[in-house]
Amino acid sequence: MPLLDYFLKRPPLQHDDMFHFERLYSSILGREKPIELDYELSAPKWMFLCYLCETKNVVLHGSANPSILEFEPRQSNDVNEFGNRRAVYAASDGIWPMYFAIVNRERISLLLNSCFGIRQENGAATDYYYYFSVDQDALLHDPWRNGTIYILPRDTFEQQEPLQRQGMRLDSTQWASPIAVKPLAKLVVTPDDFPFKQQMNGHDPQLIAERSRRNPEGFPWRD
C-alpha cells in the first residue's frame, strides 16, 4: 500500500485568523518568566500553534506536566538514530505535540506516531501528514487526559535530516536540543482540541515491536 494511504493530511490554516494569532503571540514577548496563554480565539488551538511554527523561531513540546520551568535533556528510546539520544525534543508543528500532551501514558505501553512535510511540486507550500496510534486495548477505554503545549525558543535545536521513503522526500518536523531549554509560554489543551482524535489508530504493541525489529524502516508496520 502506498505510504500516504496510512497518513492524515493537515487541514489548511485560515488566514483570517492571522491578526489575532499575532496579537496573542506578542503577549509572550519580553517576559522574564513563561506565561500561560489565555486562549479565547475562535480558531482551533492547533491552527494557532501551527501558525507559530511556520512564522516564528519556536518549536513545541507536549506534556502532561503543567509546571515545567526548564526542560532537561533526557535519553529517548526510538528506532530512529536521531530520536534515540539524550536531548530535549520538540516539533515544528502544532498538531504532533498535542498527541503527546493528551495521551494518557499510564494506560498505554507503546506510542506510535509520525509527522512530516512534503513540499508541493511548485515549491510554494508544504503539505503536512500525520500518523497516530495507541494500544488497541486502551483505545476502547478513552485513554485521554488534559495536557500542556510548551512554546520553546528554537535557537539551540537542530532539525532531523529529511527522510526518503518510496521515492519521496519527507521533511521531518522533529527537532532536538543537546542542552536545557526554558519555555517562553504554555497553552493548556484538552482531548477535544486534538483534531485527529476520532481518527486514532489502534495497534498490538507486541506485534509492532516484532515487526519493527525485523524492519526498522517499515513504519507504521501495518503489515
Beta carbons of 3 and 165 less than 8 angstroms apart: yes
Domain-located, residue 223: no
Domain-located, residue 221: no
pLDDT (tens digit, 9 = 90+) per residue, 39-66? 999 999 999 999 999 999 999 999 999 9
**Is the pLDDT at 156 greater than 60, yes or no?**
yes
Strand 185-189 and strand 35-36: the pairing is parallel
Strand 126-135 and strand 147-153: the pairing is unpaired
Q: What local confidence, expressed as pLDDT, does residue 56 receive?
A: 97
Domain-located, residue 219: no
Where does residue 190 rank: exposed (0-12), middle (13-18), buried (19+ CB within 10 A)?
A: middle
Of the segments 94-108, 121-135, 153-167, which one has the largest average pLDDT value?
Answer: 94-108
Domain count within the chain: 1
State the residue range of the domain holding 181. 3-214
- C-alpha–C-alpha distance, residues 4 and 22, integer Å: 33
pLDDT (tens digit, 9 = 90+) per residue, 75-106? 876 656 666 788 999 999 999 999 999 999 99
pTM, entire model: 0.91
C-alpha 140: how far from its chain's center? Answer: 23
Contacts of 73 (CB under 8 A, 6+ apart): 86, 87, 88, 177, 178, 179, 180
Angle at 4 between CA 213 and CA 175, to 5 degrees: 65
Domain-located, residue 203: yes
What residue type is assigned to position 204 of the chain? D
Per-residue HEC secondary structure of 30-45 comes to CCCCCEECCCCCCCCH
Domain-located, residue 44: yes
Domain-located, residue 183: yes
Domain-located, residue 137: yes
What residue type is assigned to position 24 of the chain? L
Higher pLDDT, 215 or 5: 215
- C-alpha–C-alpha distance, residues 73 and 3, integer Å: 32
